[in-house]
Chain A
Amino acid sequence: MTETFVYWGMDPDWAWFLATVAGILLIALPLMLAVAMVIYVDRKVWAAMALRRGPNVVGPFGLLQSFADGLKVFLQETIIPTAANKGLFLIAPIITFTVALMAWAVIPFNSGAVLANINVGLLYIFAISSLGVYGVVISGWASNSKYPFFSAMRASAQMISYEVSIGFIIVCVVLWANSFNLNAIVWAQKGHIFGLINGFAFNPLLFPVWVLFLISSLAETQRAPFDLTEAESELVAGYQTEYSSMSFALFWLGEYANVLLMCALNATLFFGGWLPPLDIGFLYLVPGWIWLFAKIFFFFLVFSWIKATVPRFRYDQLMRLGWKIFLPMSLIFVVIVSGFLMFTRYGA
């Protein structure tokens, strides 16, 4: 985009600035719209699986339900509990929301369509997603109330546990793609299986790694069956208990933006990102971002399917799964994948 602005006769520095701001808006605004629609999809899927109708009143098929909800929370009063730590109480939802948007900067939507094409893109996402826990922890502590506090405790333990195995899973992918750059990782998946199928997930060595990643990403975004931080049967609403109106809405939006990000990561790391599923010429006529969005939407359906069908884990089971099963398994796969590559690609 910078080149276009320069071509129109703009100063290169200003062109870069303008192009970056435009890129940010081009990602953030559609993302917000997508979040609103995806909340609707989520509710419809749960409703269908529970033989209910779901939202069907506001707009055709209830399509405008999320916007009605948004308007409602916007008009409500922001209540700050007297015992709360006021500054931190208000900063926490902002952190959650900002961090959820920040990670999208390095997601490639097409071969050239990426806001920040940095060498360490995957590490950047890993770093940013590890910040997400601060929103939860700070809100839990600043609310000065027992249920949010329990929730904050659980969140910090849970996020750290699953980040460890996500780190090793990322190492497997990076070893195979030979780069931390997300666009390079997508290119490395072109024709990965028999020169026909695009995507690491169809590789027998990386398929189990993808399964680990899918489950870890559920835990990382605190979705069911790992939604212990807002387990409504034990903790009211967890860290969100004391929040109301826009501060609550920011948590809500941030949470779903994070879920979409994890879906996008599943698509980008294991299912060929913006590449079509098969490496056949005419499929490339469809723009890359449509393939990426289709994959993101597919994974989102998987996420809400899981939420509608799987019961919540107990906390000790969650910790056991993270440390005693996922960590050893992802470590073993790092050894297997690097050993295999050493013998095949680098000739021992």
Chain B
Amino acid sequence: MIQAFAFYLFAALVLASGAFTILARNPVHSVLWLILAFFNAAGLMVIVGAEFIAMLLVIVYVGAVAVLFLFVVMMLDIDFAELRSGLVRYFPLGLAIAVVLAAELVLGVGAYRAGALELGTPAAETAPLVGEANIVSIGALLYGRYLFLFESAGIILLVAMIGAIVLTQREARADAGRSQQNISRQVSRRPEEATVNTRPEVGQGVQL
């Protein structure tokens, strides 16, 4: 009983916060509703016994991705009158996206009603490890059977990371050297180099 109650609670909250994500006028509110949706999705994961996935969902999506989202969206200078004025121009595009999504939904429900897809019987090494915490079973699969897929995903991420670093390299740009901190110079600076003791005449002042 309590599972059903928890499921309907989380599912209803996911749907409601998902709806509010697109209905909210203010983009910051949208992001916050999105975060609530992530959170309740994590709750659904807990119900099916995938506590590791649930925690990762919160750590990665709520703790990192959504914070960066919020970081960017917070800095937007929102003019609500202007937001509404573009409606006619963007209406066809929005309609097209809506039609695609609706078609996918109908297809999905139709496929579901047609019966489950036959996936074949799992091989011995992919059979679920009974009685293990799911973090152990995920580890056994990732570092065993799917090792090469896992490693190639890692390489793709590494390349993406290097790409991002290269794009923001400062040396290549014209303003190289500007607004850069030289930490070793700052640390090795002594008071004798930074301050001078002078005894100026009255009314003379000092030359800086």
Interface residues of A (CB under 8 A from B): 88, 118-120, 123-124, 126-128, 130-131, 133-134, 137-138, 141, 149, 152-153, 156-157, 159-160, 163, 180, 316-317, 320
Contact = CB atoms under 8 A, between A and B. Distances in A.
Interface of B: 28-29, 32, 35, 51-52, 55-56, 58-59, 62-64, 67-68, 70-71, 74-75, 133, 135, 181, 183
A17 to B, nearest CB: 10
A120 B59 contact: no
B135 A141 contact: no
A119 B133 contact: yes
A272 B29 CA distance: 43
A126 B59 CA distance: 7
Given A127-B63, A180-B135, 17 more contacts: A88-B28, A88-B29, A88-B32, A118-B51, A120-B52, A126-B55, A127-B62, A128-B58, A130-B64, A133-B67, A156-B67, A156-B68, A159-B67, A160-B67, A160-B68, A163-B64, A320-B183
Contact of A131 (B28, B51, B58): B58
A171 B33 CA distance: 31
Q: Which of A118, A119, A124 has the most chain B CB atoms inside 10 A of its CB?
A: A119
Nearest to A180: B135
Nearest to A129: B63
Nearest to A87: B29
Given A88-B32, A118-B51, A127 B67 contact: no
Nearest to A133: B67
Contacts of A126: 55, 59, 63
B181 A316 contact: yes
A120 to B, nearest CB: 5
Contacts of B62: 127, 130-131
A141 B28 contact: yes
A313 to B, nearest CB: 12
Contact of A127 (B35, B59, B135, B181): B59
A118 B135 CA distance: 12
B55 A120 contact: yes
